[in-house]
Structure 1
Amino acid sequence: MEIVQIVGLGLIATILVLVIKEQKPLFAFLLTAFTGIMIFMFLIGKISSVIKVIEDLAMQSNVDLIFLKTILKIIGIAYIAEFGAQIIRDAGQESIASKIELAGKVLILFMSIPIITVIIETVLKLLPA
């Protein structure tokens, strides 16, 4: 029932932000950012559990942990970039949010190079010479 708590926190924060926004827009933004961070902190334990299960599955299937760690980093970059961009959008800065998303995509592309290389090498080994 954690989702009920998260939605409840979001609804309360939204109502407070709507009430406060006219008088103190900076405080409303800070409340929005704080709420987002609180929700993220609430989910860290769940994320940690998922990562542990994925690592255990990778160990059982003899997958190289370097690839798994790279994929987990890529997923982390995607989530953090999206989270940051949404906070920046809440502040009304669409252009900066777009740049954060672009940076996240470039970092993901950069980190995926070793995985792409292994895939291409594997495909080339399967092709007849």
Structure 2
Amino acid sequence: MEMVQVVGLGLIATFLILVIKEQKPVFAFLLATFTGVVIFLSLVDKIADVLGILTQLAEKARVNSMFLETVLKIIGIAYIAEFGAQVTRDAGQGSIASKIELAGKILIMVMAIPIITMMIETVVQILPS
């Protein structure tokens, strides 16, 4: 889905949500969530293309696949946490949204440990003993 279509879908959904919100707030929330999911699913092909290119570049550069996999997982966690937090915030649950964001940050920190460990080990090997 191209950007104009995404914006068009977003504007139409926003207009409908504003109209529906007064009478049926639950339906308005469901429409907002559904619209977000449709936009995300429409971008899955683009995401797959980017992942394929990054994998090819990493193979050509002979980068350890663990690094690329870890970075991609971290990016995925960040996007999923952000999407979940936004949906939760749209439902009026700001405190739960904050907890989702915190969980995402902690999981990112956990995922980064192997990379940080390898970097520290490399620096220790370079330094004279």
- TM value normalised by structure 1: 0.98
| Cα displacement (A) at 1:108 | 0.5
* AA matched with 1:3: M
Q: Distance in 1 between matches of 2:90 and 2:6?
A: 18
Q: Distance in 1 between matches of 2:84 and 2:47?
A: 18
**Structure 2 gap segments, 5+ residues each:** none
Aligned to 1:89: 89
Aligned to 2:7: 7
Instruction: Give the count of matched residue pairs.
Output: 129
Aligned to 1:40: 40
**Structure 1 gap segments, 5+ residues each:** none
Moved runs in structure 1, 4+ residues, more than 6 A?
A: none
Task: Please give the root-mean-square deviation of Cα atoms over the aligned residues, in Å.
Answer: 0.9
Percent identical:
67
Aligned to 1:64: 64
Q: Distance in 2 between matches of 1:49 and 1:107?
A: 25
- TM value normalised by structure 2: 0.98
Aligned to 1:53: 53
| Cα displacement (A) at 1:88 | 0.5
Q: Distance in 1 between matches of 2:49 and 2:3?
A: 17
